[in-house]
Structure 1
Amino acid sequence: MQQVKSEAFFVGARPVDPRALPVPARRSPLKRLNNRFNRTLVLHGTALRRAGMAVLALAALGGLYQVREPIGFGLSALTTLTQGGFAEVGLAVGEISISGQTLTSEQAIFDALGIQPETSTLAFDVEAARGRIAELPAIDTVTVRKTYPAEVAVSVTEKEPVARWRVDGITFVIDATGSQIGEDFGAYGDLPLVIGDGAADDAMVMIMALNNFPQLQDGLVALSRIADRRWDMIYETGLRVQLPEQGVAQALSKLTRYQSQYQLLDRDITVIDLRVDAVVAVRPTKREDPEKS
């Protein structure tokens, strides 16, 4: 390595006042803050972005909660306007046909349909209407369909009535399970009549037992449930046949034999008591003494 004399560095040198030398510029507080922010963004940018999105989501949910009622009102109003719009262009329900009902009134079915003047065929909910009609007491099956532009058709089949049940002065029509399926207004006079508390629940058993003895049904007007334990048979002549709690079929068979042999049901009596096995007790009709009248 070549050595250079120190004098070589001073060739052309000149004296300078140190106060005249340039001073490096100092960084402003704002620039320092900006540098720190950029460094933080580079190092932790992903975490910061996720936190910011979470805050925005919470703020959005809070805002929606505050305006939930106005939004609900607006949607309801929009639905109403849409319905009305469909109705105005000819899609309003204008014809409703109902068939198959006897026990169920047309008004009850119409109410269950839920159709209003502004209801459009397009927006009418067939399944919801079918479900409401199916809940009516006498309905067994129901079909609801809509035909564009403006028709709704309802077809029902009702439960089969097996008897009439009179209780508290009102006569109902009941099915095989004893359930009330309608009120009798005189159209089911050919059905057996059962009366008394609990009569509906056991009516079908008694009716099926009587079906085996048609001879006993002539002139029979009602079956009366006594203390929810046994039956009395009431005839149009006023005759009452008292049946036992157990062995009803045997008692009916015995009564049939007595009717065939002695025309017991046609006698001038008011009561035939069959409640005790092997005993047939009768009560004659009371006659006024002419001398006392």
Structure 2
Amino acid sequence: MQQVKSEAFLAGARLVDPRALPAPIRISRNRLRNRFVRAWVLHGRVIRRSMLAAALVVGSTIIFETREPLGFALGTLGQVAQGQIAQAGLAIGEISISGQSLTSDQAIFDALGVEPHTSTLAFDVEAARQRIAELPAISSVSVRKTLPGDVSVVVTEKSPIARWRVDGITFLIDGAGIQIGEDGGAYANLPLVIGDGAANDAQVMIHALDANARLKDGLVAISRIADRRWDLIYDTGLRVQLPEQGVAQALHKLVNYQSEYQLLDRDLSVIDLRVDTLVAVRLNKTEDADKS
């Protein structure tokens, strides 16, 4: 490039009034940028908070509007993923259950919640254990899973203390009077209580009889009367009417009468002990009541 000497440039120069120069052209884009920068510097905190609030509102609206399709899609995706895991050889294949006698295998299996394509990885051991523990006869339970596809369940059941017959059905009950299963005939050695409310108070009465074991010979049932008191029913048809209060004393008195007079072995239909100072009996062959 040819260099122009300053003398030649100055020779052709002329004085110009600055006010006569053309006005500079301002680009609107620069003007907008400058305004934005100024606003950001002066009000940046407010702008950021407003933008965050707007983003939250928009995001919440989108999630609310798409909640059902999104939930369906996630559920379907989970099923597909679990099916693929199961096809890869991690499906639950063998389930072993042990320790149960009052609880059916089907009830335990249903509580496990295992579906045809449930994978071992997705199987929730603790959730299954809690569901099984809620079954009426279960005292404790352990659930374990072993890869690739085994699940083992070991249960400990409650011990029944009596049989309770109500509405023609005989149930097994625990110490709290809760039904823990139906009597299939394997617990014929347990005391039989009958009548409404008998299950709730059975344990106290059974303990009272245990303390007077001689009274259990030939005893076939303990009947709850009006949910207030008990009758002892023997295989001879004899019915011993016990008082509402003072049962232990009445049983002890009956033991003494049996020892001295063999009262339970006599041809009686009723022995009435409901009055503390009186023992009334009714003969089988007559309706007269003798008192002793």
**Alpha-carbon distance between aligned partners in 1 of 2:261 and 2:15, rounded to the nearest angstrom:** 160
**Alpha-carbon distance between aligned partners in 2 of 1:267 and 1:168, rounded to the nearest angstrom:** 32
**Alpha-carbon distance between aligned partners in 1 of 2:268 and 2:165, rounded to the nearest angstrom:** 26
Q: Which residue of 1 aligns with 2:95?
A: 96
Q: Which residue of 2 aligns with 1:30?
A: 28
The secondary structure found in structure 1 opposite 2:160 is: coil
**Alpha-carbon distance between aligned partners in 2 of 1:57 and 1:246, rounded to the nearest angstrom:** 71
**Alpha-carbon distance between aligned partners in 2 of 1:198 and 1:23, rounded to the nearest angstrom:** 113
Q: Which residue of 2 aligns with 1:254?
A: 253
The secondary structure found in structure 2 opposite 1:241 is: strand
RMSD: 2.5
Tell me by how many angstroms 1:63 deviates: 2.2
**Alpha-carbon distance between aligned partners in 1 of 2:77 and 2:191, rounded to the nearest angstrom:** 55
Matches within 5 A, 1:36-51: 36-41=35-40, 43-45=42-44, 47-51=46-50
Q: Which residue of 2 aligns with 1:62?
A: 61
Render the CA deviation track for 1:71-111: whole Å, top value 9, x for unaligned.
21121111101110111011111111111111111111110
Code of the aligned partner of 2:223? S
Q: Which residue of 2 aligns with 1:207?
A: 206
Distance 1:50 1:27, change over 3 A: farther
The secondary structure found in structure 2 opposite 1:194 is: strand
**Alpha-carbon distance between aligned partners in 1 of 2:261 and 2:198, rounded to the nearest angstrom:** 31
**Alpha-carbon distance between aligned partners in 2 of 1:61 and 1:120, rounded to the nearest angstrom:** 34
Q: Which residue of 2 aligns with 1:159?
A: 158
**Alpha-carbon distance between aligned partners in 2 of 1:43 and 1:213, rounded to the nearest angstrom:** 95
Distance 1:46 1:280, change over 3 A: closer
Code of the aligned partner of 2:23? A
**Alpha-carbon distance between aligned partners in 1 of 2:282 and 2:177, rounded to the nearest angstrom:** 33
Q: Which residue of 2 aligns with 1:120?
A: 119
Q: Which residue of 2 aligns with 1:263?
A: 262
Q: Structure 2 unaligned runs (5+)?
A: 1-10, 287-292
Matches within 5 A, 1:94-243: 94-243=93-242
Q: TM-score, normalised by structure 1?
A: 0.85
Structure showing greater radius of gyration is 1
Q: Which residue of 1 aligns with 2:6?
A: none
Q: Which residue of 1 aligns with 2:83?
A: 84
Tell me by how many angstroms 1:125 deviates: 0.1
Distance 1:16 1:82, change over 3 A: closer
Q: Structure 1 unaligned runs (5+)?
A: 1-11, 288-293
Code of the aligned partner of 2:279? V
Distance 1:33 1:232, change over 3 A: same
Identity of aligned residues (%): 64
Q: Which residue of 1 aligns with 2:8?
A: none
The secondary structure found in structure 2 opposite 1:137 is: coil
Q: Which residue of 2 aligns with 1:9?
A: none
Indicate the larger mover: 175-184 or 217-226.
175-184
**Alpha-carbon distance between aligned partners in 1 of 2:142 and 2:221, rounded to the nearest angstrom:** 37
The secondary structure found in structure 2 opposite 1:101 is: coil
Q: Which residue of 1 aligns with 2:72?
A: 73
Tell me by how many angstroms 1:17 deviates: 11
